[in-house]
Structure formats: structure tokens, C-alpha cells
């Protein structure tokens, strides 16, 4: 997530909320539909303003770079695909120079808390262990067990797990986003994402399918080890029952919902297109052919 000090939600600026009284953590994998859920929750102005503020890796201080997704299979072809597509680390550093991680954390909590005292955030497994490690670098948190640590920082935490059935479609969506830096179609409209040729790469997509599955297994293991029963949302069901799913989440969080609450349709546009469909077919064909030759 890019630095956010100039983009606090208007509601957060109008009210002084120092500490939330309840929190939720959206536990997800990239391109699982978590952004759609976050948008729905933010639009209510009742459930915090969940964003991805803790995605920097401990080793670099910035979010995972595109090529770092493929360290296990990196070759000259992949390096060539991403040449010139990186962004300067200075645009993404967490925390920014001169700020401690504790101050960064407190600021993120402040601007992600809605006027009614609800805080929300989103984390991906790919950097969740790094996030926990960085929290433990703060002296008062060093000895706390993981769930105690999280509940100390995020009061009364609820865990929301977002998953997507179509793992191939998810991996292709991620592969396209890594090439373009376009994580939502609005980025193209706002001229944020570069317009460049997109490359199909079977090994890269197959690697991302496996990576997503590994990350989801790690989330399930984390929930089991810590006796957490998350509220689970399936992307395909969220799309079909947008308002009903949103209201179910609000009930799960014990948020008082006014009778006149109007659920606005999300502004996010579906990113799957004819190219995505074509790539899914091409991937499936090549995957089946590879299995036949084994």
C-alpha cells in the first residue's frame, strides 16, 4: 500500500477517534476479492476504513516486488518481462523515513477507524509473518503470544477470511496486475497503471496458483493453531449476494445498523475480460498436456 498521509477519510478527519473499541482483520490472498469487500465496508461509514497498510516486507521495507513472487522459478524470460515495470521503492516505504514503526502503526489505526470506534484492516499471508515480526520489534510487544499481540494492538479482534474458488482465474488476475501495476480498473481510468503488452507465461501462472494455495493452507493452519473460527466469505458468493453478505459481516462485527442504511453498489469494475478467459483456456490446455506427458 502506498503512503497515505495525505488521503485520510473525510469522516476520520472530522472526528477524534484515538483507539477503536472493536476491530477486524481481513485475512486474504491477492486477488481473492478482498478489495471488493473492503470497499463495501468503507462505504457504510460504520465499519472502519480497511486498507492494506502493513504489506511491507521486513527485509526491504517495501511491499513485495513483482519479481520477488517468482524467486523460486526466476529465469531470463521473467526478468525481461518485468524490465522497466518496477516502481521506485521510495514511493512505497513503510514507515517513511524518520518515523518509527510504532508511530506508523498508531497513525494507520487512527485513519482506519470510523467515528463509531470500529477499526478494520486487510492482510495477506505473504507478508503476515513479517508484520508480526515487525510488531515484536516494538519493545512492549516482544514477549506476547501472537493472538495476544494482535488483540492488544487491535481491540476485540474479529477475523474475516476471504477466499476465491477459481484459483486459476485468481492467479491470472494476479499475473496481469503484477505486469501492469493495475489492481483495479479505476487505475487505468486515472492513468495510474501503465498501458503495456501483457505476456502469457504458463510457468509463472502455475507458480502463482500453487503460491495462492500455499498461502491459503497457511491461513487455515494459523486459524487451527490459535483456535480461531473466522467468518468466511467466498468471492463468488460476495459478487452474487453483495448486500446480504455485507449485512452479514456487519452483524458478525456486532455493529448497530440503522434501519435506513442504504447499501451502495460498489464502484469497482470486474477486471476479468476476454484476455483472462483466453488465458484460462490456454493454461488449462497446457496443464492437461503436461500431466499427460508425466
Domain membership of residue 5 (yes or no) is no
Domain membership of residue 17 (yes or no) is yes
Residues recognised as catalytic: 52
Domain membership of residue 119 (yes or no) is yes
> Which domain, by its residues, includes 164?
10-293
Q: What is the tens place of the pLDDT at every residue in 59-109?
A: 999 999 999 999 999 999 999 999 887 776 656 778 888 899 999 999 999
Q: Into how many domains does the chain fold?
A: 1
Q: Quick one: cell of 146? A: 501472537
Domain membership of residue 261 (yes or no) is yes
Q: What is the tens place of the pLDDT at every residue in 118-161?
A: 999 999 999 999 999 999 999 999 999 999 999 999 999 999 99
User: What b/e readout covers 2-16, taking b as 16+ CB neighbours within 10 angstroms?
Assistant: eeeeeeebeebeeee
Domain membership of residue 136 (yes or no) is yes
Domain membership of residue 3 (yes or no) is no
Q: What is the tens place of the pLDDT at every residue in 190-234?
A: 444 555 789 999 999 999 999 999 999 999 999 999 999 999 999
What CATH number corresponds to the domain at position 158? 3.40.50.300
Domain membership of residue 4 (yes or no) is no
pTM: 0.89
Domain membership of residue 36 (yes or no) is yes
Amino acid at each position: 500500500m502506498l503512503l497515505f498521509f495525505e488521503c485520510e477519510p473525510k469522516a476520520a478527519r472530522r472526528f477524534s477517534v484515538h483507539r477503536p473499541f472493536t476491530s477486524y482483520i481481513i485475512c486474504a490472498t491477492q486477488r481473492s476479492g478482498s478489495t471488493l469487500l473492503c470497499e463495501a465496508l468503507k462505504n457504510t461509514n460504520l465499519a472502519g476504513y480497511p486498507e492494506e497498510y502493513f504489506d511491507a516486507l521486513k527485509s526491504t521495507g517495501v511491499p513485495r516486488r513483482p519479481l520477488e513472487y517468482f524467486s523460486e522459478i526466476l529465469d531470463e524470460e521473467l526478468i525481461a518481462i518485468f524490465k522497466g515495470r518496477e516502481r521506485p521503492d521510495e514511493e512505497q516505504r513503510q514507515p517513511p523515513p524518520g518515523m518509527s514503526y510504532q508511530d506508523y502503526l498508531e497513525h494507520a489505526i487512527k485513519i482506519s477507524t470510523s467515528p463509531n470506534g470500529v477499526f478494520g484492516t486487510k492482510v495477506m499471508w505473504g507478508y503476515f509473518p513479517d508484520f508480526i515480526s515487525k510488531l515484536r520489534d516494538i519493545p512492549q510487544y516482544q514477549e506476547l503470544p501472537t493472538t495476544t499481540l494482535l488483540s492488544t494492538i487491535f481491540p476485540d479482534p474479529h477475523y474475516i477470511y476471504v477466499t476465491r474458488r477459481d484459483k486459476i482465474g485468481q492467479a491470472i488476475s494476479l499475473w496481469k496486475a503484477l505486469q501492469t501495476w493495475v489492481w483495479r480498473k479505476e487505475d487505468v481510468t486515472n492513468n495510474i497503471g501503465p498501458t503495456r503488452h501483457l505476456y502469457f507465461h504458463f510457468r509463472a501462472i502455475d507458480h502463482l496458483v500453487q503460491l495462492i494455495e500455499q498461502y491459503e493452507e497457511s491461513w487455515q493452519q494459523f486459524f487451527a493453531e490459535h483456535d480461531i473460527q473466522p467468518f468466511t466469505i467466498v468471492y463468488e458468493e460476495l459478487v452474487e449476494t453483495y448486500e446480504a453478505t455485507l449485512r452479514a459481516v456487519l452483524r458478525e462485527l456486532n455493529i448497530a445498523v440503522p434501519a435506513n442504511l442504504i447499501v451502495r453498489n460498489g464502484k469497482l469494475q470486474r477486471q476479468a475480460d476476454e484476455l483472462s478467459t483466453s488465458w484460462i483456456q490456454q493454461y488449462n490446455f497446457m496443464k492437461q498436456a503436461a500431466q499427460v506427458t508425466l
